[in-house]
């Protein structure tokens, strides 16, 4: 269920079952992306509009799920906290590589940052082209929303740096990011599902971007499914919600 194929052969994703219905079938674990899922994409990473009470709403949702709620974002965890405040929720930043349990304990090893030389070369590239460079504790991102014509060249540059320094490239909406290998949202889902209170629950990953596909795949692998937010094809998600407003309605946030 979830995917229908009309006469023209194009796969259309249906809306997911109601959360109440899913909870009636089995214990539910929710994994939520941040940008494009809980807040609309903006011109820059710090230009987002975040509801003042979103942090409390998420805490309330986590309580309804008996703690089986995790945020999984490409942002660094300290950055998420600047927008939502301190959260006693499971969360994973830096594309799932930096993982904390609800009580603040680390889950797995903390990821390393980029080599200084690689970060310097990325900064020089961004400065010469007047691109926004977002530095993070465990990576760095080039934003191309203001100069989309430069994205292909930026991807070639980032891939060259990745090859030279043993890094990985992450693609997103008008953004290219360099991270350490092994940073993906599917890894975060698998790690959380091995510990309480997530063990044995049915995982559902909700996200909008290419990097969320790893989360969709992990949720499906573990007996759950993915929910795509917005329009993007192809996708491994089983269901779809049109946008952030519909995510809030579905979650009763």
Q: Give the containing element (helix H, strand E) for 187.
A: helix 185-192
CATH topology of domain 116-179: Alpha-Beta Plaits (3.30.70)
Q: pTM of the full predicted structure?
A: 0.84
The rounded distance, in Å, linking the Cα atoms of 173 and 160 is: 20
pLDDT at 4 > cutoff 60 = no
pLDDT at 125 > cutoff 50 = yes
Q: Give the containing element (helix H, strand E) for 158.
A: helix 151-165
Say if 3-110+183-251 and 116-179 have the same CATH topology.
Answer: no
Per residue in 197-213, pLDDT tens? 999 999 999 999 988 99
Please compute the mean of the pLDDT values over residues 219-238 and round it to a whole number: 95
The rounded distance, in Å, linking the Cα atoms of 84 and 48 is: 12
pLDDT (0 to 100) of residue 11: 56
Please compute the mean of the pLDDT values over residues 19-39 and round it to a whole number: 95
The rounded distance, in Å, linking the Cα atoms of 244 and 250 is: 10
3-state secondary structure of 150: helix
Active site members: 33
Per residue in 72-98, pLDDT tens? 998 889 999 999 998 999 999 988 889
CATH topology of domain 3-110+183-251: Rossmann fold (3.40.50)
Q: Specify burial of residue 95 (Cβ count, 10 A radius: 0-12, 13-18, 19+).
A: buried
The rounded distance, in Å, linking the Cα atoms of 66 and 119 is: 41
Q: What is the percent of the chain with per-residue pLDDT over 90, rounded to a whole number? A: 66
Q: Where do the domains of the chain lie?
A: 3-110+183-251, 116-179
Question: What average pLDDT is seen over the chain?
Answer: 90
């Amino acid at each position: 269920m979830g995917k229908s194929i009309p006469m023209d052969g194009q796969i259309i994703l249906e809306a997911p079952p109601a959360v109440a219905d899913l909870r009636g079938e089995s214990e539910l674990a929710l994994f939520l992306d941040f940008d494009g899922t809980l807040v609309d994409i903006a011109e820059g990473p710090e230009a987002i509009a975040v509801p003042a009470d979103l942090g409390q709403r998420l805490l309330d949702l986590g309580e309804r799920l008996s703690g089986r709620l995790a945020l999984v974002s490409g942002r660094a965890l300290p950055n998420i906290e600047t927008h939502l405040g301190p959260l006693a929720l499971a969360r994973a930043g830096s594309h799932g590589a930096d993982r904390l349990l609800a009580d603040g304990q680390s889950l797995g090893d903390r990821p390393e940052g980029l080599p200084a030389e690689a970060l310097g070369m990325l900064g020089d590239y961004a400065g010469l082209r007047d691109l926004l460079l977002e530095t993070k504790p465990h990576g760095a991102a080039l934003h191309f929303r203001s100069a989309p014509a430069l994205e292909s060249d930026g991807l070639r540059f980032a891939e060259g740096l990745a090859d030279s320094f043993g890094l990985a490239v992450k693609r997103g909406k008008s953004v290219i990011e360099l991270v350490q290998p092994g940073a993906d949202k599917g890894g975060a889902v698998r790690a959380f599902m091995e510990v309480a209170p997530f063990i044995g629950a049915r995982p559902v990953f909700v996200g909008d971007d290419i990097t969320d596909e790893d989360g969709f795949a992990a949720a499906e692998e573990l007996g759950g499914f993915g929910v795509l937010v917005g329009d993007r094809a192809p996708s491994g998600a089983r269901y779809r919600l049109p946008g952030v407003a519909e995510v809030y309605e579905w979650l009763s946030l």
